[in-house]
């Protein structure tokens, strides 16, 4: 488990300044995410009809043609239009007939490839131009997001867009080891990544809990280290091909020397202590670690990387390198003697020795090494890439020392923090003293989806829609920081993502039906929308989870953040500021719902005992509703409540802020504000 240092709380508050009034910054009519670099809204619209046509010019690559076909299918699905022309024309289009796409060349799947595009929509037609077909893919995604409707049907608003990414490395890490992620999970997330203009799938493929790749040279890796849950090499090639078709690079991670228990089940001689070993079912930092002093270790890894670098074509591979607690090294007399004989001052120096041996192996196979920030050491060649997870200081230090770097600190989406938290976390924080050259060494960032408490059933809801906020931070101009506008757009785009097969919205209802044991789950659903999972590492710190634990409870069905609770908080602010009767009535309606829903939930629990753990939470929400009605009355009549009333509400808020069943009541803060306003 990767524990984020407390300094992230300070770092995340380095907020950028939102510049009001710029036409490129916001339009209430455009739901685009990531928002383009430059947008000019023009008069008019392009009306969509069943005779809509598409033509291509310039370099017509197979990747571009397939992307056009997919875009047209999605367009038909959204509009229910039966397009009469299903062919892509190479002879141009007449005035007002449709979309013309022009690209100059095929894009390469490399860092710093040109991903820019220009999109112009007018009543006379749509034109998309890009230097590469990858830029063309991005432009098609923007066009799909532009689609709107009115009483006359569907249309694209007239706009002129010039767009390009701010950072060249915009990734999503998916951990397929702690919990197995089948091929279909990877595939529909690739489609969603393309929609969000992300371009790197960082695939975490080995861990204490599982080795997930077929190895023909060392078959015991997957045969004994995976519980039979692994990707065949044929499946990996298929996934890499599908990713490439969407302009996405696939960077594999094989974690070493630590987080490697699954390796040792079949090949115990690699470890720094005698076996036998078994697949780890618990989570956390484990002791088993590779022996960096034996030549047989490097002989094995030489052959292993020869096989894997042939399988994964990207120029980068990730070696992990994090969270080696050194206990096995400290307990091994031969390893200690090796350190002394080679003037290695500590375990960090010993790991740098190991990493340098890996670097030489990977260089022979024309690969570049990426590792977590623990690999940062004076002995590491500075064309290695430092992946920062413990804090931005490592990223800054790496850039200052000449290393390329990537940020994931602040982008750990498994920790169930808000989209706003991630959105305001920048790879180059406001006020950074980095030089221009140092800033250029910051390649970008990655959302990190670790799977200790996520399964194939819940992983989509942990990734989406919040990763849209991270995608925008990595793509759009740094000054785009309006959180309210981000949420406005994110909620709309989240629904659009369902057409790609994502389960982030619908799986919650399925899980609640199961928890309701055949009963109507409405009361559980009504409660759940006002709850959110605990944040950070609370769950794994307080519950002895293993890979066999149930991840089917209310906390798992809950979205990482309650958007209704966020809207409620804004409603409270509006009412306290302006005392509008409409706002008051809306608040009362919500709070009445909390009160009445608890009784329905109690009846449901009698026949659905798996829900019993949330009954206390529901009771507190009911009490908040009753007290909230009283607070609105006091505030509206400008009557001061008794001291005893205020004291009771303080106790209620304290109870509401405590986790129960690993769930929080996010409206507690807004209710406290309401109670305080009434008391004053």
What whole-number distance in Å separates Cα of residue 302 and Cα of residue 315? 17
Point out the catalytic residue in the list 323, 446, 457, 662. Answer: 323
Q: Where are the beta strands (DSSP E) in 306-432?
A: 316-318, 368-372, 385-388, 404-407
Name 55's Cβ contacts closer than 8 Å, sequence gap at least 6: 88, 89, 90, 91, 92, 93, 98, 99, 100, 101
Residue 464 phi/psi, 5-degree rounding, is -115, 145
What whole-number distance in Å separates Cα of residue 296 and Cα of residue 311? 23
Closest to 666 measured CA to CA, from 546, 587, 563: 563
CB atoms within 10 A of CB 23: 10
- Taken in order 650, 651, 652, 653, the sign of the CA dihedral is positive
Residue 57 phi/psi, 5-degree rounding, is -135, 165
CB atoms within 10 A of CB 11: 17
What whole-number distance in Å separates Cα of residue 632 and Cα of residue 198? 46
What whole-number distance in Å separates Cα of residue 153 and Cα of residue 148? 8
What whole-number distance in Å separates Cα of residue 512 and Cα of residue 518? 10
Angle (CA) 165-169-171 rounded to 5° is 110
> Is residue 479 annotated as a catalytic residue, yes or no?
no
Closest to 55 measured CA to CA, from 110, 127, 156, 143: 127
Burial zone of 609 (CB within 10 Å; 0-12 exposed, 13-18 middle, 19+ buried): exposed
* HEC secondary structure over 26-74: CCCCCCCCCCCCEEEEEEEEEECCCCCEEEEEECCCHHHHHHHHHHHHH
Euclidean distance between the first and the last CA atom of the chain, given in angstroms as a whole number: 45
What whole-number distance in Å separates Cα of residue 101 and Cα of residue 139? 9
What whole-number distance in Å separates Cα of residue 579 and Cα of residue 581? 6
State the number of CA atoms in the 13 A half-sphere of 159 facing the CB.
27
Positions annotated as catalytic residues are 323
């Amino acid at each position: 488990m990767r524990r984020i240092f407390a300094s992230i709380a300070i770092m995340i508050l380095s907020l950028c300044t939102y510049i009001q009034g710029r036409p490129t910054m916001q339009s209430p009519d455009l739901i685009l995410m990531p928002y383009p670099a430059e947008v000019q809204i023009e008069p008019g619209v392009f009306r969509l009809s069943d005779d809509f046509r598409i033509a291509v010019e310039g370099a017509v690559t197979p990747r571009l043609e397939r992307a056009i076909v997919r875009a047209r299918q999605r367009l038909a699905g959204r509009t229910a239009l039966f397009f009469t022309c299903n062919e892509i024309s190479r002879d141009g289009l007449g005035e007002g007939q449709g979309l013309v796409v022009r690209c100059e060349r095929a894009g390469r799947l490399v860092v710093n490839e040109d991903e820019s595009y220009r999109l112009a929509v007018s009543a006379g037609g749509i034109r998309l131009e890009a230097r590469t077909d990858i830029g063309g893919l991005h432009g098609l995604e923007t066009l799909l997001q532009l689609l709107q409707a009115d009483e006359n049907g569907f249309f694209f608003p007239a706009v002129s867009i010039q767009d390009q990414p701010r950072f060249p490395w915009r990734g999503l890490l998916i951990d397929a080891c702690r919990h197995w992620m089948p091929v279909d999970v990877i595939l529909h997330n690739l489609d969603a990544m393309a929609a969000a203009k992300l371009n790197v799938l960082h695939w975490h493929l080995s861990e204490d809990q599982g080795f997930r790749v077929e190895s023909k040279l060392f078959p015991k890796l997957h045969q004994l280290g995976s519980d039979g849950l692994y990707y065949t090499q044929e499946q990996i090639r298929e996934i890499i091909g599908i990713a490439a078709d969407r302009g996405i690079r696939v960077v594999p991670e094989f974690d070493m020397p630590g987080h490697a228990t699954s390796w040792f089940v079949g090949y115990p001689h690699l470890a720094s202590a005698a076996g036998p070993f078994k697949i780890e079912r618990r989570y956390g930092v484990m002791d088993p670690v590779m022996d960096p002093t034996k030549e047989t270790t490097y002989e094995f890894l030489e052959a292993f990387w020869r096989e894997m670098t042939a399988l994964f074509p990207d120029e980068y591979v990730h070696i992990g390198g994090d969270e080696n607690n050194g206990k096995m090294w400290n307990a091994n007399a031969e390893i200690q003697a090796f350190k002394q004989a080679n003037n290695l001052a500590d375990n960090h120096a010993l790991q740098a020795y190991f990493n340098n041996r890996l670097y030489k192996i990977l260089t022979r196979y024309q690969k570049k090494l990426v590792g977590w920030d623990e690999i940062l050491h004076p002995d590491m060649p500075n064309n290695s890439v430092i992946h920062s997870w413990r804090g931005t200081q490592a990223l800054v230090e790496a850039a200052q020392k000449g290393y390329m770097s990537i940020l994931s600190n602040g982008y750990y989406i498994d920790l169930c923090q808000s989209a706003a938290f991630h959105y305001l976390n920048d790879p180059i924080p406001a006020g950074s003293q980095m030089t221009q050259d140092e800033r250029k060494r910051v390649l970008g960032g990655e959302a990190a989806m670790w799977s200790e408490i996520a399964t194939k059933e819940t992983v989509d809801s942990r990734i989406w829609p919040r990763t849209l906020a991270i995608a925008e931070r990595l793509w759009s101009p740094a000054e785009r920081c309006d959180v309210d506008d981000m949420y406005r757009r994110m909620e709309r785009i989240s629904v659009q993502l369902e057409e790609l097969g994502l389960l982030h919205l619908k799986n919650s209802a399925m899980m609640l039906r199961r928890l309701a044991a055949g009963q109507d789950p409405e009361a559980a659903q009504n409660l759940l929308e006002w709850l959110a999972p605990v944040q950070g590492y609370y769950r794994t710190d307080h519950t002895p989870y293993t890979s066999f634990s149930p991840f089917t409870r209310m906390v798992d069905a809950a979205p990482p953040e309650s958007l209704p609770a966020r809207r409620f908080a804004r409603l409270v602010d509006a009412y306290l500021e302006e005392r509008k009767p409409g706002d008051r009535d809306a608040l009362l309606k919500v709070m009445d719902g909390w009160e009445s829903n608890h009784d329905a939930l109690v009846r449901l629990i009698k026949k659905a005992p798996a829900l019993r753990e949330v009954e206390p939470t529901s009771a507190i929400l009911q009490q908040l509703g009753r007290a909230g009605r009283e607070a609105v009355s006091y505030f509206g009549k400008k009557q001061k409540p008794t001291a005893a009333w205020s004291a009771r509400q303080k106790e209620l808020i304290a109870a509401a802020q405590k986790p129960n069943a690993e769930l929080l009541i996010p409206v507690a803060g807004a209710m406290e504000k309401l109670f305080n306003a009434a008391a004053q």
